[in-house]
């Protein structure tokens, strides 16, 4: 009877031990799934954020991409949602300094978050339960929004401008404008056709006159060749002509100047004599009495001419038979 009782106790003990082991394994597995390491000692630090951008408990805490701890808990400070305190458990082997920065960053492209510790090696070591400085890295969505928002605004402006342009084009391309464009295209086509015909005629003319053009070019080439061959002779001839022309011009100019000077001297001598009353011209110019006599003679001559005009028979006698009338002559 005693052996049976001992056997029953042993079974109950075994069941209890098995249950304890199962619970322990369950706790360890749950902790492992949450990223907790029950066998690693850690220090607790805090960081306060205005927003956590999707950070949750059990997210990793890393240094240069290496996991050194995890986020343990996120709580609200005094019911203020703008002050969120994050509790972090960090391995005691990590020497966290007071001025270290706990920066929330994007762990992957799917929006997972983590806390990256940026250690300040110049500051002293932080103590457990110290509050670290906090930063938050811009999320991928916000980064894309920051980049895409200006593009979106420009696209909207472009669409508005394009709509205005299309409206303006629609206003311009009314029925009358379309008719004018069709008419303009037709006129352009006719002009191009006329130009094509003219080009054909010009080509035909050039083909017909090619022989003559070749002869003209041959003559021009011959003349050019002759000029090139006789260039030295022509240059010498032109030089001689220039010398002769210069000599003639210089000679004629010298003689002309000398003649002019001589004429001026003689004219000056005559004018001096006239002014002094010498010679006939001098007397005529300077003798007033002679001038008066000439004036009187002129008047008498005028009277004589008038009388001759009035009584020609007094001065002119003629006869038909060439014999003078004695009676008339005596009178």
Q: What are phi and psi of 125, to 5 degrees?
A: -70, 145
246: in domain: no
What pLDDT is recorded for position 30? 66
Contact 75, 87 (CB under 8 A): yes
Per-residue pLDDT tens digits for 96-121: 999 999 999 988 777 788 999 999 88
Asked whether residue 331 carries a pLDDT value surpassing 90, the answer given is: no
Are 159 and 177 members of one domain?
no
Question: Structurally, how many domains does the chain consist of?
Answer: 5
40 Cβ contact list (under 8 Å, min separation 6): 91
241: in domain: no
d(CA 21, CA 61): 31
Quote the Cα angle for 76-81-83, to 5°: 65
The residue among 86, 112, 117 whose CA lies nearest residue 101 is 117
Are 128 and 212 members of one domain?
no
Q: What are phi and psi of 194, to 5 degrees?
A: -65, -40
70: in domain: yes
Are 159 and 215 members of one domain?
no
β partners of residue 133 = 101
Asked whether residue 132 carries a pLDDT value surpassing 70, the answer given is: yes
β partners of residue 178 = none
Under the banding of pLDDT at 50, 70 and 90, the label for residue 139 is low
Asked whether residue 16 carries a pLDDT value surpassing 90, the answer given is: no
257: in domain: no
Asked whether residue 328 carries a pLDDT value surpassing 80, the answer given is: no
Asked whether residue 47 carries a pLDDT value surpassing 90, the answer given is: yes
Are 57 and 130 members of one domain?
yes
d(CA 83, CA 106): 21
Q: What is the DSSP-derived secondary structure letter of residue 50? A: S
**Region 233-237 average pLDDT:** 82
189: in domain: yes
Question: What does the chain come to in residues?
Answer: 331
Asked whether residue 4 carries a pLDDT value surpassing 50, the answer given is: no
pLDDT, greater one: 269 or 325: 269
pTM: 0.37
> Within 10 A of 107 (CB to CB), how many other CB atoms are there?
17
216 Cβ contact list (under 8 Å, min separation 6): none
Are 57 and 21 members of one domain?
no
Domain extent for 294: 280-312
The residue among 130, 74, 73 whose CA lies nearest residue 98 is 130
DSSP codes, 76-93 = EETTEEEEEEEEEEEETT
β partners of residue 102 = 117, 134
Percent of the chain past pLDDT 90, that is, above it, reads: 12
Are 60 and 106 members of one domain?
yes
**Cα dihedral: 104, 108, 109, 111 (round 10):** -50
Are 64 and 92 members of one domain?
yes
d(CA 192, CA 230): 50
Average pLDDT over the chain, rounded to whole?
78
Under the banding of pLDDT at 50, 70 and 90, the label for residue 167 is confident
Q: What is the CA radius of gyration of the chain?
A: 68
């Amino acid at each position: 009877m005693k052996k049976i009782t001992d056997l029953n106790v042993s079974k109950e003990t075994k069941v209890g031990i098995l249950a304890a082991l199962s619970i322990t394994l369950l706790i360890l597995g749950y902790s492992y799934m949450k990223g907790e390491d029950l066998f690693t000692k850690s220090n607790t630090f805090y960081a306060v954020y205005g927003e956590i951008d999707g950070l949750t408990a059990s997210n990793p805490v890393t240094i240069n991409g290496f996991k050194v701890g995890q986020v343990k808990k996120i709580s609200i400070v005094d019911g203020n949602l703008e002050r969120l305190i994050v509790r972090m458990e960090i391995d005691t082997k990590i020497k966290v300094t007071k001025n270290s920065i706990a920066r929330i960053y994007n762990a992957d492209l799917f929006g997972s978050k983590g806390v990256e510790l940026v250690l300040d090696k110049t500051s002293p070591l932080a103590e457990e339960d110290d509050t670290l400085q906090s930063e938050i890295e811009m999320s991928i969505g916000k980064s894309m929004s920051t980049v895409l928002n200006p593009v979106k605004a420009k696209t909207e402006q472009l669409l508005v401008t394009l709509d205005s342009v299309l409206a303006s084009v629609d206003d311009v391309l009314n029925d009358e404008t379309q008719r004018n464009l069709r008419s303009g295209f037709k006129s352009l086509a006719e002009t191009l056709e006329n130009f094509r015909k003219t080009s054909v005629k010009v080509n035909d003319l050039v083909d017909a006159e090619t022989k003559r053009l070749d002869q003209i070019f041959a003559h021009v080439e011959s003349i050019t060749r002759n000029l090139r061959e006789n260039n030295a002779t022509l240059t010498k001839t032109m030089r001689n002509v220039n010398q002769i022309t210069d000599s003639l011009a210089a000679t004629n100019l010298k003689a002309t100047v000398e003649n002019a000077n001589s004429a001026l001297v003689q004219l000056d001598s005559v004018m001096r004599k006239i002014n002094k009353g010498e010679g006939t011209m001098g007397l005529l110019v300077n003798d007033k009495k002679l001038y008066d006599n000439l004036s009187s003679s002129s008047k008498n001559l005028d009277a004589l001419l008038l009388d001759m005009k009035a009584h020609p028979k007094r001065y002119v006698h003629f006869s038909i038979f060439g014999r003078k009338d004695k009676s008339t002559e005596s009178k």
